[in-house]
Amino acid sequence: MPAAIALVVILSLLAVFQLALALGAPLGRFAWGGQHRVLPGRLRIGSLVSIVIYAIIAVLALDRAGLIDVVPDVVSTVGMWVVFAYFVIGIPLNAISRSKPERYVMTPVVTILAVLSLLVALS
């Protein structure tokens, strides 16, 4: 349960970050390859989609941890393994970013998310 809560807290912080990006905050060097200080329209939409994805992941994690019961167990079980794979794939993608801020901040964040999602998947 602590891993699921930690995962949801980090995802919530990332959702706030993505919302700020979608609203035009000059934080683009930390996301989407770091090519833009302020994101163009298509990447702002991508940030909004990211928030939806984070919410789905949060529901899966909380369901898997037994804190809520909104999806069948097989969905939360398989879903958390998919989430784990998603974050594992994200590690090298962030690590090879041309943006130093993205590499130095987001690579450790996604690594932590991968570990937490693994713990939730194994629970």
Look up residue 68 and give its two tokens.
Answer: 């809520």
Please tell me the distance from the alpha carbon of residue 20 to that of residue 47, in angstroms, as a whole number: 9
Give 7's pLDDT tier (boundaries 50, 70, 90): very high
32-71 pLDDT tens trace: 888 888 999 999 999 999 999 999 999 999 999 999 999 9
Q: Which two tokens mark 64?
A: 């898997």
Alpha-carbon separation of residue 28 from 24, 47, 57, 73, 109 (angstroms): 9, 11, 23, 37, 16
Per the prediction, the chain carries an average pLDDT of 94
Q: Where are the domains of the chain?
A: 2-122
- Which DSSP symbol is given to 71? S
pTM: 0.88
